[in-house]
Structure 1
Amino acid sequence: MNSPLRAAVRYAWLGWRNDLVDTLTGYGVDEHRAAALASWVALNTQEHGGKLSECLRECNDLVAFGGGTHVEFAEAQLEEQSRRRADFRLSLRAAARGIWTGQLSANAARNTMLLAIHRRYTNAWHEGMRRVGLKPEDMTVVEAMALNTAILSAGRHVTRFVAWAEMRTRADGVLLRTLWPRVETWINGYDAVVNRATAMAGKDEKLEWRLGVAEHCSSCLRLNGKVKRASWWASNGILPRQPNASYLVCRGFNCKCVLLSTEKPLSRGRMPKLP
């Protein structure tokens, strides 16, 4: 299912027309922030070498955090979130590029990636806590264990990636960009950690499942707008953007949904059958 926002972003990126400001404000985004992002998209069109995926991601983040009662939150969080994700991607890509060019040994690349994962996943957890008004020092032992599990789980795939990349170097005639899709797995993991932290730290905080800019699967559509306590989302293990999520038709891959604090009443009755 194509959302109006996704279509508007795509048209703007292709240079066909740019009614992105009107579309963004229709989603509750402040007009000035909508205009600023539309200008950024205009500078990152297909003609200028920009990537549609990056334009979609930026617009998705603005809609997710920039509408309604979350405008003030968005001002403080959007820039930080985008910067940290971009820094994380640069660190991992630098390690992959080092393997590809032969300038980094396997051990050096592995250590660089493990350090980046540890640092950025920790940042992601803290970001998730801030969504519900908590500070890093408020983290419980159980939450610290969950963060450590996420870091270790992501780290287990690094050695395999390095071995795989060593067989796909420039000397082998392989293009560098063929390494990027696997790198994005860890970047997507950043968002998964944020959502898990929000659900675990929020406890009695009311969180609403919100769709992002993506091709929505039937499971995410059923969950859209549902409001439950953070403790409910966490204890039932129903969270957006989790890799291999068996409860979602999309399995969490390319999922752009988020859990956001809300003042809406709790959803009553049975939750939808999943997947």
Structure 2
Amino acid sequence: MDTAKDDLAQAIVSVADWMKANGLRLPTDLAHHIAELKTRGAWERQIWNDVREFYGNEQDVGAFIDSMTGTIDEQLTRAWNEGMRLNGLDPLQDMTPDFEEKLQGMIDEEYNHVLDFAQAIEDARAEGTPVANLRARSELWAARYDDAVSRSLIATKPDATFEWQLGRTEQHCATCSALNGHVATGKEWEESGYMPQSPPNDALECGGWRCDCRLAPTDAKSMGVPKV
């Protein structure tokens, strides 16, 4: 998001907080969007702030790496817990060693990219490339939040059913469009290879990079996963 969109997002969150404080119920779709602004949006703003400070020599490389790894740990844990709650599980009571291992695997996977990101920022600064050119890469980092929620949903209730729902982007790839509305168990989705996000994702025409589709828990029976 650019600065104007950041300000708009903060304004939306403030209005929602006021409504909640005054006993006004938010529509379900709006409540979901507000939750995203407070989670994925917060992660994106934190990453972008770190990028600008490191690019502008307000942070050294050690501080940048510490901040990035701390944010990754915090936000992916939050995303995993969100997936558990969507499945009706309590992260404090229902977390298992297997779940913890899967979560740590995602965190470690993201840690592996931090040094490359730091190098890209240093190269951009040395070459005089505008810091704004790094914004898209910051947004891709933040998209890992949605990916972590999806992985948590599947991992913590593999036998439950989930419906593929399109995101809010105006255009969707052919794969995501064909999967829209299909219901399958978590295990079936995982075995099919069709998962929202998870870039680089060869199963999706969009590659998963800017995918904002999601798997939503449902009581509907599995239709199986179609081949698209």
TM-score normalised by L of structure 1: 0.68
CA distance in 1, matches of 2:174, 2:35: 31
Match for 1:192 among 138, 147, 150?
A: 147
Residue 255 (structure 1) aligns with: 211
Q: How does 1:33-112 map to 2 (within 5 A)?
A: 49-50=4-5, 77-112=32-67
DSSP-derived class of the 1:130 partner: helix
CA distance in 1, matches of 2:5, 2:194: 34
Q: How does 1:12-27 map to 2 (within 5 A)?
A: none
Residue 272 of structure 1 aligns to which amino acid in structure 2? P
CA distance in 1, matches of 2:112, 2:211: 23
Q: How does 1:169-248 map to 2 (within 5 A)?
A: 169=125, 173-214=128-169, 215-248=171-204
DSSP-derived class of the 1:108 partner: helix
Residue 93 of structure 1 aligns to which amino acid in structure 2? W
8 Å contact kept, 1:211–1:221: yes
CA distance in 2, matches of 1:78, 1:139: 26
Listed one character per residue, the Cα deviations across residues 157-183 of structure 1 (whole Å, up to 9, x for unaligned) are 1101111211222x7533221111111
CA distance in 1, matches of 2:155, 2:28: 20
* Aligned-pair CA distance for 1:78: 3.8
Residue 88 (structure 2) aligns with: 133
Distance 1:128 1:189, change over 3 A: same
DSSP-derived class of the 1:167 partner: helix
CA distance in 2, matches of 1:107, 1:122: 23
Listed one character per residue, the Cα deviations across residues 217-262 of structure 1 (whole Å, up to 9, x for unaligned) are 2211221111112232234443111111111111112112111122
* Aligned-pair CA distance for 1:80: 2.9
Listed one character per residue, the Cα deviations across residues 41-71 of structure 1 (whole Å, up to 9, x for unaligned) are xxxxx9x9448xx8xxx9xxxxxxxxxxxx8
Residue 226 (structure 2) aligns with: 272
CA distance in 2, matches of 1:217, 1:153: 26
Residue 117 of structure 2 aligns to which amino acid in structure 1? F
Residue 249 of structure 1 aligns to which amino acid in structure 2? E
Residue 253 of structure 1 aligns to which amino acid in structure 2? W
* Aligned-pair CA distance for 1:105: 0.6
CA distance in 2, matches of 1:212, 1:88: 19
CA distance in 1, matches of 2:80, 2:29: 17
8 Å contact kept, 2:163–2:183: yes
CA distance in 1, matches of 2:210, 2:27: 27
Residue 148 of structure 2 aligns to which amino acid in structure 1? V
Residue 42 (structure 1) aligns with: none
Listed one character per residue, the Cα deviations across residues 13-49 of structure 1 (whole Å, up to 9, x for unaligned) are xxxxxxxxxxxxxxxxxxxxxxxxxxxxxxxxx9x94
Listed one character per residue, the Cα deviations across residues 49-103 of structure 1 (whole Å, up to 9, x for unaligned) are 448xx8xxx9xxxxxxxxxxxx876566443331122221122112111111111
The count of corresponding residues between Structure 1 and Structure 2 is 209
Residue 102 (structure 2) aligns with: 146
8 Å contact kept, 2:40–2:143: no
8 Å contact kept, 1:125–1:147: yes
TM-score normalised by L of structure 2: 0.81
Contiguous gaps of at least 5 residues in structure 2: 14-25
* Aligned-pair CA distance for 1:185: 1.9
DSSP-derived class of the 2:83 partner: helix
* Aligned-pair CA distance for 1:272: 2.5
